[in-house]
Amino acid sequence: MTSSVLPRRRSFIRKAAVLAAGLAGAFTLSAAQAAYPDQPVRMLVGFSAGGTTDIVARTLCKELTTTFNQAFVVENRPGAGSNLAAGEVARAKPDGYTLLMVAVTSAINQTLYKSLPFNLETSFKPVALGAKVPNILVVNPQLPVHSVQELIAYGKAHPGMLAFASSGSGTSIHMAGELFKLKTGLDMTHVPYKGSGPAISDLVGGHVQLMFDNMPSSWPQAKAGKLRALAITTRQRSAAAPDLPTIEELHLPGLDHFDVSSWFGVIAPAGTPDEVVDKLNAAIEAALNKPEVQARFANLGAQIEYTTPQQFGAFIKSQVDTWRPVVKASGATVD
């Protein structure tokens, strides 16, 4: 064999080895993605158990567990207006095994917080929007008011005596209260909690007087007589509470165009493979189409809202842009 042939053969062998390794790697990656999920999946929630974000997450995780025959486990990580949970997911390995049940809070936080270790639009990969819910204005039954008009009159007659609870600084619950305060000129104190659960508990106990809570977590308390519902914050009445007026329809001074709602969806760390995201999206769509899931959400006052990953990404951007001027107008900020 000539000396010129040997180098060519060695070069051919090396190229073949590289090609084989590449094909093997691609096959391994494809097989791993095809097998997803082959271990338990964590879905982080940035609030305490019992709030709407938690309820939506647990409903979807139950369905995903059945669909994939693999455990989807909710882990509550309350704190910093859901930023602790969001930060943990942003830092997680982008393999689809750590997800975040994201809420409107995160869109608000992009403006509310002076500095965040992540960006909602670039640090995550959208999976699917799941549901939208209105907020409702609820008060402790011992407060001597039975309407929004009476609440405003009471607040003006007792400046500084009203405290409104929220599930955390920067949540839509907080912003609804700030917007109401701004538009009515009431002197009210904001009291943030680590989730709707403990906030509602203190509201029922009389430690705070009112709250603009997500409907799924507070409406059952109102129906049970533990809270008094005064109005809904969206422009349309809710099918779950058709007799409850909207704030806007009352035509009170400064409260025209009062429209606040919450939304909840699933996002993953940036870099999560498209194949994994598409699998999750399809499974979430199937879950949201189930009559029993729709009935559960409807009973809680939630409206099913499914999107593709691309549509959800555009929606998230629009929400960041929508809440920016509201946050700035309220003067609220968190270091």
| Number of residues that this document lists for the chain | 335
CA dihedral of residues 112, 113, 119, 125 (deg, nearest 10): -60
Question: Each residue of 233-257: pLDDT tens digit?
Answer: 988 888 889 999 999 999 999 898 8
CA distances from 209 to 21, 167, 199, 204, 205 (A): 66, 14, 11, 9, 9
SS3 content of the chain, % helix, strand, coil (to 5): 45, 20, 30
Alpha carbon 285 to its chain's center: 17
Pair of tokens at residue 130:
């799941």
State yes or no: pLDDT of 9 exceeds 80.
Answer: no
Q: Decide which of 221 and 168 is more confident.
A: 221
Judged on CB neighbours under 10 Å (0-12, 13-18, 19+), 142 is: exposed
pLDDT at res. 112:
92
Report the candidate in 308, 303, 263, 268 with the shortest Cα–Cα distance to residue 284.
308
Pair of tokens at residue 147:
């309407």
Residue 135: what residue type?
A: N
Question: Each residue of 10-30: pLDDT tens digit?
Answer: 555 555 554 555 555 444 445
pLDDT at res. 14:
55
State yes or no: pLDDT of 2 exceeds 80.
Answer: no
pLDDT at res. 214:
87
Place of tokens 């997800």: 99
Q: For the whole model, what pTM was predicted?
A: 0.76
Pair of tokens at residue 178:
């700030």
Report the candidate in 230, 252, 235, 237 with the shortest Cα–Cα distance to residue 138.
230
Report the candidate in 246, 126, 121, 112 with the shortest Cα–Cα distance to residue 192.
112
Under 8 Å between Cβ of 45 and 103: no
pLDDT band at 81 (very low <50, low <70, confident <90, very high): confident
